[in-house]
Amino acid sequence: MPLTQAPAKINLYLAVTGRRSDGFHNLVSLVAPLVWGDTLTVEARPSGFTLACDLEGIPLDATNLVLKAAAAFAGATGWTGGAHFTLVKRIPAGAGLGGGSSDAVAALETLNGMAGSPLDGAGLARVAASLGSDCPLFLSKAPVVIRGRGERIEPLPAEAYSRIRGVRIFVFKPAFPIDTPWAYSRLAAEAPRGYVAEPRAEQRLADWVHTPGSPVDGLLQNSLERPAFTKFPAIPLLLERLRIRFGVAARMSGSGSACYALLHENVDVAAIEGVVRETWGMSAFTVETRIA
């Protein structure tokens, strides 16, 4: 039975540049997959798609992105086979870490391999894009720059990639989630104040990409912090504590509520975790990992 990794992601840079006529938002973002994430096992069946998960509360019906991906694959290829998916869920929901999107792409790629690869890279990207804005980036397996609503993907130049590959990351999330549509709607309600002009967004990213040796700490930005911090002041409170006490670069990922801190190799992660739990309580989720 094929076992596929479904990595989490973090947004190292997220500039929302405006709202589109279709209701979505345009953005410029540097997204990095992590070594850590979910796993998906796929068992071939004569027909039909079913899903089991080790985490209680995860929907197991057609609303789950894994089963949506399976249905989209069958529709795009005419494949008549089936599969049973077993999802080991580690990425929390409502976190801005891309868990559902990553699971969907893992299902899509595994089914494509089982069916003899009827979809090429462009075909996989088209089906992935139909599932959600975050899905296509997980096909890359490496940090990428995404634009538009997420469908335009560009790999990082090798030198820029070398500056973030393997960087030590501490991910932490409060007990509450943040709904992605809510975060974008709140940003839109304050337009144009919360948006970043596209030329300025592109220039900041280009300056970092094309300056050899420039640390990623100076690039970090997230337009969606504004609405999240206004409603959930516990998030900026903790991030500021971590910056002051440990000197780490700490930001929110995507629409939240998960955050991350970039760690030097000699940083004591246990001390950082202690401050997280002291501020957010013992229900806070934490994990140490690295950029893939």
What one-character DSSP code corresponds to residue 61?
Answer: S
Q: Using 50, 70 and 90 to split pLDDT, how confident is the model at 190?
A: confident
CATH class of the 165-192+212-290 domain in this structure: alpha beta
pLDDT at position 25, please?
A: 94
259-263 and 249-252: which strand pairing? Answer: antiparallel
- In this structure, how many other beta carbons lie within 10 angstroms of the beta carbon of residue 246? 18
- In this structure, how many other beta carbons lie within 10 angstroms of the beta carbon of residue 112? 20
Q: Using 50, 70 and 90 to split pLDDT, how confident is the model at 27?
A: very high
Residues 6+ apart with CB under 8 A from 198: 17, 18, 26, 28
Burial class of residue 58, CB neighbours in 10 A (0-12, 13-18, 19+): middle
pLDDT at position 3, please?
A: 84
Average pLDDT value over all residues in the chain: 95
Cβ-contact 292, 33 below 8 angstroms: yes
- Cα–Cα distance, 250 to 268 (Å, whole number): 15
- Cα–Cα distance, 73 to 198 (Å, whole number): 34
What one-character DSSP code corresponds to residue 124?
Answer: H
Q: Using 50, 70 and 90 to split pLDDT, how confident is the model at 159?
A: very high
pLDDT at position 44, please?
A: 95
Which CATH number applies to 3-155: 1.10.3720.10, 3.40.50.620, 3.40.50.300, 3.30.230.10? 3.30.230.10
Pick from 14-23, 165-174, 189-198 the range whose average pLDDT is largest.
Answer: 165-174
Say if residue 173's pLDDT is above 90: yes
Q: Where are the domains of the chain?
A: 3-155, 165-192+212-290
Enzyme catalytic residues: 9, 134
DSSP-assigned states of every residue in 154-178: EEPPHHHHHHHTT-EEEEEE-SS--
